[in-house]
Amino acid sequence: NAGVMQNPRHLVRRRGQEARLRCSPMKGHSHVYWYRQLPEEGLKFMVYLQKENIIDESGMPKERFSAEFPKEGPSILRIQQVVRGDSAAYFCASSPPTQSDEQFFGPGTRLTVL
């Protein structure tokens, strides 16, 4: 059973470009979470999704950031018009529909904005 997959592992963008980060949850998992980690800091929650629904987006910046988890395919975190402050590691986690308090993390995508 493959773990949570994220791609790309590293992403370099220039200011003003768009960044698309993908997350494939573990097989059978229907809950997806996105977290951001700035250098030397802990993880900060961004958004919690289930298939085709955003459940909690209280940690998402109001502008430029969006997330989706379609019926088919991976979850996508999209950052429009990136700025240098968006440089961080973005982690995705998933949990099963039952016993869902334990979250399994992917390897992360390291975004660098030049």
Amino acid at 20: R
Minimal distance, residue 88 CB to other proteins, in Å: 13
CB of 69 to other proteins, least distance (A): 15
Nearer to other proteins, 17 or 54 (CB): 54
From the list 54, 76, 104, 112, which residue makes contact with other proteins (rule: CB under 8 A)? Answer: 104
Parallel, antiparallel or unpaired: strands 88-95 and 104-105: antiparallel
CA gap 40, 52 in Å, rounded? 33
8 Å CB contact between 86 and 111: yes
Q: Which of residues 45-64 bind other proteins (CB under 8 A)?
A: 45, 48, 55-56, 58-59
- Does position 35 bind other proteins by CB under 8 A? yes
Distance separating alpha carbons of residues 102 and 19, to the nearest angstrom:
28
